[in-house]
Structure formats: C-alpha cells, structure tokens
Amino acid sequence: MEITSYSMNWHYPTAMRVGAGRIRELGKCCGQLGMQAPLLVTDPGLAAFPMVEAALQNCRDAGLRVGLFSAIKGNPTGANVADGVAALKAGEHDGVIAFGGGSAIDAAKAIALIAHQSCGLFEANPGTVDASKMLPVVAVPTTAGTGSEVGQAVVITDEDKHVKRPIFHLKMVPGIVILDPELTLGLPPKLTAATGMDALAHNLEAYCTPLYHPMAEAVALEGMRLVKEYLPRATANGQDVEARQQMLVASSMGAVAFQRGLGAIHAVSHTLGALYDSHHGLLNAIMMPYVLQANRAQIEPEMLRLSRYLDLPTPGFEGVLAWILQLRAELDIPHTLADIGMDDTQAETIGKMSARDVTARTNAVQMDAAQYQQLFLNALKGTL
C-alpha cells in the first residue's frame, strides 16, 4: 500500500488526524477545540528540536498566542505537574498541546486536568474533579510506545512516597490527536526499540488479562501483529515512514486495548521506575518473558490463538515466548535487570510495592508479595 493511503481521519476513541505531514494542522486543531492561547508541554530534550519551534510557529501563524513548558522528567512527578500548572496560569493559557513521548503527554494531560480544580493531583478522580473545568488537549506523540494520546489515565510519580500513581478520568482523553510519522523519524534506534516494546507490552497484557472485553482483545491482537511486522523495520531504518506510521498506530491500539486491564509486567515496571527512575519501556521489555512464564498456566489458550494470528513457526506458548526472546535479541534489549545495573538490595520492597500496584489486580495470575519478589529476582538473574 502507498504511504499516502495511510492519511486518514479517524474517530476512535477520539478525533485522530493520521498521516505524514498532519502536524501542519496543529493550529487549526487547537482552534477547533476553542483554544486561543495554548501551552505546548514537552520534555527538555525535545524542546530544543526544530520540530517544536515549527509547531509553535504553526500556532502563531494560526493567530494563537502559544507558550512553551518543558521542565519534565523522564518519569514525570507531581512537582513537574505543579510547575506546569503555574506556567499555565502565569501565561493565562486556555488549553494544552501535549507534544512528545509518554512522559510529556502524561504530564500535559495532568496539567489540563488539575489546573483549575480544588482537589490535589493525587486526590483527583471522577468524584473529586469538576469536568467542566478541565482544559482541552491536543496530543501529538513523537514516540510510538505509551499510547497516552488516546488514554483515559496518566501515571505520575509521587516523589514523597516513591511510588507511581495512576490517575483516571473518562474525559482525560485528548480532544484531538495528531499521528504524524515524520515527527518520529529522528528517534534513535535504542529508544525506538524500547518504546516499541512498551507498545507490545500494552497489547500483550491487555490480551492476557482475564477480564471480559472481546473488543479490546481483538484490538490487542492486531496491535501485536503490527509490532511484529514493523518494529524491527522502524528500529533498523529510522527513515522508514511506513514502519513509523504503523508503530504509532500500534501504540495507540495498545492504549485502547488496555482499558481491559494490564498485569505483572507493569506492576513490576511501575515499581522499578519509581525506585530507580529507569525507562518504562525498557523495563517492560526486560520483564516480559519472565511474566509470561509466571502466567503460563492461565494463558495457554490465549498463546495458542496468538501464535496462530502471528503465523509463528511454533504454535502455542513456546512459540510466543521464542518470538519475544528473538525480538528482544534483534532489538538489542538486555536480557536481565542486572544488565541495567540493578541488584537485589530492595527485593522485598519491590515485591510488596508490585503486589499493591493497581495493574496487579488484572494480571492473569493473582500473586502475593513473595511471588512478586521472586518474579523480580528471576528477571534480575535471568531465570526463565
């Protein structure tokens, strides 16, 4: 299929402008949501890139008074969100452009959610938030991993308690999303691989969770097929626009699918991210085969269907596990947590925190703190 055929307008689960060059519609999209003075929220590394200045200029050309905020960590914190709210109010901004990877998009959505609420960020929920005071958001992902651009939640680190806190609201889904693969062309191979494995983790865990949601299950299957076909291409050749486009779509599909739930991959990764400030996608990639092994007794039928859908040479669980291990090796993903500098000094704490994580509730197998501790140790030592 010609790449021009990938330029479409979708409305699933929100309005989406999909295709190369669609970033040129940013100013128009802000106007459609009623913004006159948007605040573009991104991360400090991306803020210096020409694509951000081009986005700001596009808004200016559309007659908008646009500002920039970029003081966000790789794992965004409550303090980052508070600083963003202060910048938004100081500039009298009336909406938010979430521009970047999952960290920037999560922080931007949190800023838009909480800026004019009477409750604190970590107390925000559908019962405490006045939805009429939430600000509109246009989301522009520049990585293909979290799918936060179509999600009803954000994950923000509570630095005081050293935990990652998910915050949910049905109306947190951005009003318009722009999926433009040209914005991802400069992403380095290692980051392409790690974020792509994050997209795979979202689709895979959504597929494996036992909750009843056949629509999400179907989305997850196709999301994994796209990852299988296009992530190696996008990593090997960062200028492959088709592969970049399809990975953006797979990322969004993962976030749509995981309304069904996530599992132990994320339970442990959230914990390790809060304690070690490590890259979320890389943690998911490392944890993936160990969690599959821990869940094996409950997911054999799902793995058989998945192996058939992906046309793997070996059917069933063994075929899926072999594919994931081969994919990780091809993408140069470390095999163990020890390979990225972790040790067992906090193993007991990690077990307890992981068992309490909200995503543990929908894992295929319910595990206690001791079992999560062992799962962490398996991933630390490479015990499959």
Which one-letter amino acid corresponds to residue 42?
A: T
The answer to whether residues 207 and 227 touch, using CB atoms and an 8 Å cutoff, is no
Q: What percent of the chain has pLDDT over 90?
A: 92
* Mean pLDDT in residue range 307-312: 98
98 has a pLDDT exceeding 90: yes
Task: Name which residue leads in pLDDT, 382 or 162.
Answer: 382
Q: What is the DSSP letter of 241?
A: H
Alpha helices of the chain — where are they, by DSSP H?
Answer: 26-32, 44-47, 50-61, 78-90, 102-114, 189-208, 214-236, 241-257, 264-276, 280-309, 316-330, 347-356, 369-381
Q: What is the 3-state secondary structure (H, E, C) of 59-103?
A: HHHCCCCCEEECCCCCCCEHHHHHHHHHHHHHCCCCEEEEEECHH
pLDDT tens sequence across 106-127: 999 999 999 999 999 999 999 9
- What's the CATH superfamily of 188-381? Dehydroquinate synthase-like - alpha domain (1.20.1090.10)
Q: What is the pLDDT of residue 119?
A: 95
Note the CATH architecture for domain 3-183: 3-Layer(aba) Sandwich (3.40)
DSSP SS3 for 165: strand
Which one-letter amino acid corresponds to residue 258?
A: F
Radius of gyration in angstroms for the set of CA atoms belonging to the chain, rounded to a whole number: 20
Closest CA to 236 of 141, 331, 334: 331
Q: What is the pLDDT of residue 6?
A: 76
2 has a pLDDT exceeding 80: no
Token reading at 221: 């299957």
The full set of domain ranges for the chain reads: 3-183, 188-381
Among 75-89, 159-173, 305-319, the least confident range: 159-173
pLDDT tens sequence across 133-188: 999 999 999 999 999 999 999 999 998 888 889 899 989 999 999 999 999 998 99
User: pLDDT-based confidence at 4, cuts 50/70/90?
Assistant: low
Closest CA to 328 of 291, 296, 286: 286
266 has a pLDDT exceeding 80: yes
Helix (H) or strand (E) holding 38: strand 38-41
Helix (H) or strand (E) holding 172: none
255 has a pLDDT exceeding 60: yes
* Mean pLDDT in residue range 341-361: 97
pLDDT tens sequence across 15-41: 999 999 999 999 999 999 999 999 999
Q: What is the pLDDT of residue 11?
A: 82
Place of tokens 């307890």: 352
